[in-house]
């Protein structure tokens, strides 16, 4: 029984679907813990702090971050008050929190008179929502994890500061911060032309395997789906499943694989239709073809049995201990499975396989996306300090430290050495990025509109063989249609 099932029947929220909650998110944000919308607004007005009421944009869509009161210069582009305390909250998830603490130490070196507080939690929304309502948000927070705050609600309420000044600011390493970034990394945090979130990590979505196992079996890294299926047949003869999966999170990774194959086949316009919530988004031919490809693998028995009954981390543990051959995931996978992966595994990622030789995007194209969104509240007491903390995090020194700690990459270019700090996974990700160049794509509709809770169960059914590809496509389109046709849900512009 889930937590939702255990709620009292008279609780109206117990009857809501995730889509219902999306439309009501802003109202609920203002009414948490019995605080009315009017009272919450008064509390925010009374709080003062960086940004202030005069800084709020006229359309309610965010606010400027006020200068900190210090002298503005190239060394201090946001006018940080050197003695002002700074309050930062890190999401303590797959990347841990040490990188944030280390950035805090650097901030303290630059501003020794400041009281630097870096705290961490896995409960972002429960811990921070009362602070927003009370008018006392942190100066910077990492809005990540299963309990992240609803970004569109925060934007609509004017609770987030715009970050345009950050990317135009001088980098600690020379040039501007914008010039130091990988292609496309600002897109996920940009809402209708305004940057509200700086996504710090760069995730490459790949199909992962053990180079040790492939060498032993004589398998070549597949570039096409046909080659993947050939490995599946070879593995099946050895009674070894091609793919591991477990629970809704792992099932969701296979939708990413399908959509990435569809976009590589049909071009970036496929992703555009998805983000626009088009009425035929999931009847696009390449989207259909990619779902059919996954269905072929399901019918062939290439998926590990019993996946619906275990967690994704358990499935991943099965994979790294040699009980399955491949696994699609973001490049966080090595750090997430570090404690159970054998030393000789040689975890390696390859670019999403193409469906055919006629794929519009090259075989080297990757689904690369920035994640781990850092945000500066418009009502924080030291918004300038929040911006400066981010500027420090974006220095090569701190980015390299992050990669050493997590075997993952940040959004700053050229920070991973050739030896990738001894990580085969990180080395392969670096190679994929270099090989793709500008040929990088992503899509945002699931994150923009909070559709994960609705779509994940469909893929659990699909991978378990309980529904067909056609049924999965039809039901996914129904979810998309419901959002598109609901005028109470703010829609974001797609270029």
What is the predicted pLDDT for the residue at 61? 57
CB 106 within 8 A of CB 86: no
Phi, psi of 48 (to 5 degrees): 65, -150
Note whether residue 29 is domain-resident: no
* Cα 257 to Cα 294: distance, rounded to the nearest angstrom: 9
Note whether residue 258 is domain-resident: yes
Pairing of strands 366-375, 440-441: parallel
Note whether residue 265 is domain-resident: yes
Note whether residue 246 is domain-resident: yes
Provide the token pair at 307: 């996946």
Residue 240's CATH number: 3.40.190.10
Note whether residue 457 is domain-resident: yes
Sign of CA dihedral 189, 195, 197, 200: positive
Note whether residue 289 is domain-resident: yes
Nearest to 185 by CA among 394, 386, 342: 394
Sign of CA dihedral 75, 79, 80, 81: positive
* Cα 88 to Cα 224: distance, rounded to the nearest angstrom: 44
* Boundaries of domain holding 216: 203-369+444-484
CB 481 within 8 A of CB 279: yes
What is the predicted pLDDT for the residue at 146? 79
Phi, psi of 97 (to 5 degrees): -130, 0
What is the predicted pLDDT for the residue at 152? 83
Q: Residue 427 contacts by C-beta under 8 Å, 6 or more apart in sequence?
A: 418, 419, 420
- Model pTM? 0.78
Distances in Å between the alpha carbon of 236 and those of 121, 233, 468? Answer: 43, 5, 22
Note whether residue 287 is domain-resident: yes
What is the predicted pLDDT for the residue at 183? 83
* Cα 422 to Cα 432: distance, rounded to the nearest angstrom: 17
Per run of 10 residues, the mean pLDDT along the chain (length 495 residues) is: 29 38 39 28 26 35 74 94 97 93 98 98 96 97 91 90 96 97 89 93 96 97 98 96 90 96 98 98 98 98 92 94 96 91 96 97 94 95 97 98 93 92 94 92 90 93 97 98 94 83
Domain count, the chain: 1
Note whether residue 334 is domain-resident: yes
Nearest to 50 by CA among 387, 445, 495: 387
């Amino acid at each position: 029984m889930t937590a939702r099932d255990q709620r009292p029947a008279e609780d109206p929220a117990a009857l809501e679907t995730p889509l219902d909650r999306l439309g009501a998110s802003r109202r609920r944000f203002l009414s948490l813990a019995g605080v009315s919308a009017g009272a919450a607004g008064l509390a925010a007005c009374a709080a003062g702090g960086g940004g202030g009421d005069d800084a709020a944009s006229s359309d309610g869509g965010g606010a400027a971050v006020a200068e900190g009161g210090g002298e503005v210069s190239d060394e201090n582009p946001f006018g940080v008050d050197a003695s002002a305390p700074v309050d930062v909250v890190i999401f303590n998830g797959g990347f841990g929190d040490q990188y944030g603490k280390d950035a805090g130490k650097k901030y303290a070196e630059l501003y020794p008179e400041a009281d630097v507080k870096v705290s961490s939690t896995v409960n972002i929304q429960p811990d921070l929502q009362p602070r927003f309502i009370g008018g006392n948000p942190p100066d910077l927070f990492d809005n990540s994890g299963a309990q992240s705050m609803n970004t569109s609600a925060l934007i609509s309420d004017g609770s987030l500061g715009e970050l345009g000044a950050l990317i135009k600011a001088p980098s600690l390493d020379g040039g501007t911060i914008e010039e130091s970034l990988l292609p496309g990394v600002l897109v996920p945090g940009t809402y209708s032309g305004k940057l509200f979130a700086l996504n710090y990590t760069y995730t490459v979505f790949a199909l992962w395997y053990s180079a040790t196992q492939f060498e032993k079996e004589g398998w070549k890294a597949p570039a096409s789906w046909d080659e993947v299926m050939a490995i599946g047949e070879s593995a099946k003869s050895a009674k070894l499943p091609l793919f591991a999966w477990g629970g809704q999170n792992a099932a969701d990774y296979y939708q990413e694989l399908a959509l990435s194959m569809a976009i590589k086949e049909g071009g970036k316009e496929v992703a555009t239709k998805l983000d626009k919530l088009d009425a035929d988004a999931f009847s696009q031919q390449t989207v259909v073809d990619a779902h059919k490809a996954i269905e072929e693998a399901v019918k062939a028995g290439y998926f590990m049995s019993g996946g619906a009954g275990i967690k994704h981390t358990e499935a991943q543990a099965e994979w790294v201990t040699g009980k399955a051959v491949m696994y699609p995931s973001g490049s966080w996978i090595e750090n997430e499975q570090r404690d159970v992966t054998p030393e000789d595994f040689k975890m390696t990622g390859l670019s999403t396989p193409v469906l055919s030789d006629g794929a519009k995007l090259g075989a080297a194209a990757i689904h690369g996306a920035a994640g781990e969104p850092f945000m500066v509240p418009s009502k924080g007491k030291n918004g300038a300090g929040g911006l400066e903390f981010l500027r420090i995090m974006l220095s090569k020194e701190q980015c390299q430290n992050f990669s050493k700690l997590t075997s993952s990459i940040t959004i700053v270019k050229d920070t991973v050495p050739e030896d990738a700090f001894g990580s085969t996974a990180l080395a392969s990700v670096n190679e994929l990025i270099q090989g793709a160049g500008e040929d990088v794509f992503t899509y945002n509709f699931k994150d923009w509109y909070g559709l994960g809770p609705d779509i994940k169960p469909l893929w659990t059914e699909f991978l378990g063989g309980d529904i067909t590809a056609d049924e999965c496509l039809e039901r996914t389109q129904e979810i998309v249609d419901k959002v598109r046709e609901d005028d109470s849900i703010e829609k974001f512009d797609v270029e």
